[in-house]
Amino acid sequence: MKKHYYLLSAALLLTGAAHAQGTELFFSEYNEGAHQPGLSYNGGASNSTGNEKVLEIFNPTTSAVNLAPYSIRRYSNGAPLGSPLMEEERLMRRTGANVLNSQSTHVVANPEATLLDITRVANQFSASRQNSPVNAATSPNIIQVGGTVWFNGDDAMALVRYPSGTAGLPNVNAGIIIDIIGSIGEQPLLANGNVGGNWSGTNPADGTPAVFVLSANQSIMRRPEVSRGLRANPTPQNVPGSNPPTRNPGGYNIADQWVAYGSAFTGAGGTVNAGAQLYNRLGEHLDYSGPNGVYQSTITSTLEKFNANISVYPNPARGTATVEIKDAKVGNVVVLNNLGQRISAAAKGQGQEKLTLDISGLKAGLYFVQIWSADGQTKIYKELVVQ
């Protein structure tokens, strides 16, 4: 995967997220536990299944927000954008209106979680990994395969909004990513080069000695000043292809936006103590210090205008294809298929330009041309048939 596939450095993404108006939902908490199956961590009330995993979504706006257009996705083990391996599920509250009030949270938990700090605040339990859209009667919230909240530390997570007003419609390519945890398309490795790694990093704001923020065996929450999600896929955490992994300068650092408040590793040398990991901040995001903006209700018109000002031709194409841009500022163009083949082209963001895509190395078939706006807020897909 090439570095120029990504739009903005992690530092630029943080700057935009920390100072923007709070006009859209974003991830506010992520919990991935080290609890062992068959052991009790709640005073003997029940035994853990080893799936104490949770996501929390926060509404920073001044309005109650309808959750019908929203979904969460899991890109497992380095699955890329557009991958058929991606898992996706609608946001749907278990009781009451499917609405998220201003300054409130929506908690989505693994269905096998047993800790009371999780189950008593869960607004939604994720579908089973075995379920798919054909099981609509038992898992009506699935868009593309169940298992979104069965993540491990090396999966990328995304919060998605559909301009149609209904998550999953008209198809998965219509969804706009409004927040990301991790770097989609990367599976972070352990220091020894084996699988089972995580998103990790430190932040000087946490003092010394350095406090590692991890996406595995920790409870982490968004830093108080963060008021919007990461809308463009970050640069990989590690240098692509490096094994053992080499840290990528300017790459994704989860500690830029997240802070740890509960860890399964305590004491000298990081002794494992799964029962010490806290989950007691779930169900609230009271530390939020960012602005409370007016809900961004214009995402549909923005998307339609962006889509109308971009064309791809000829179609079908052989050898090369042209992306013509009129009155739209484009940051990045990627051609991809469900096998992971891709080519990239960087636009200049000038509003009027033509990009030539060399597709001579691609096998014949149907591809998707993924186009990001220069500000990283809008993404569209256009079909391209390669002959």
Q: How far, in Å, CA of 68 to CA of 91, rounded?
A: 7
- Find, among 296, 199, 312, the residue nearest to 245 by Cα: 199
Distance (Å, whole) CA 272 – CA 35: 10
Asked if pLDDT for residue 5 goes beyond 80, the answer is: no
HEC string for 160-201: EECCCCCCCCCCHHHCEEEEEECCCCCCCCCCCCCCCCCCEE
pTM of the model: 0.77
| Residue 207: other Cβ atoms inside 10 A | 8
Q: Which is more confident, 85 or 237?
A: 237
pLDDT of residue 287: 96
State the Cα–Cα distance between residues 113 and 253, nearest whole angstrom.
28
Question: Which carries the bigger pLDDT value, residue 43 or residue 32?
Answer: 32
Say which DSSP state 146 is in: S
Pairwise CA distance, residues 343 & 357, whole Å: 8
Largest CA distance in the chain: 66
Q: Which CATH number fits domain 299-386: 1.10.3720.10, 1.20.1560.10, 3.40.50.20, 2.60.40.1930?
A: 2.60.40.1930
What percent of the chain shows pLDDT beyond 70?
A: 85
pLDDT one-digit tens code per residue, 105-150: 999 999 999 999 999 999 999 988 765 555 555 678 999 888 899 9
**pLDDT at residue 264 is higher than 70:** yes
Torsions phi, psi for 13 (to 5 deg): -65, -40
Residue whose pair of structure tokens reads 């053992």 in the numeric block: 244
What is the average pLDDT across 55-83?
A: 94
Domain spans of the chain?
Answer: 3-276, 299-386
72 sits in which H/E element: strand 70-75
**Where do we find the tokens 């691609």?**
362
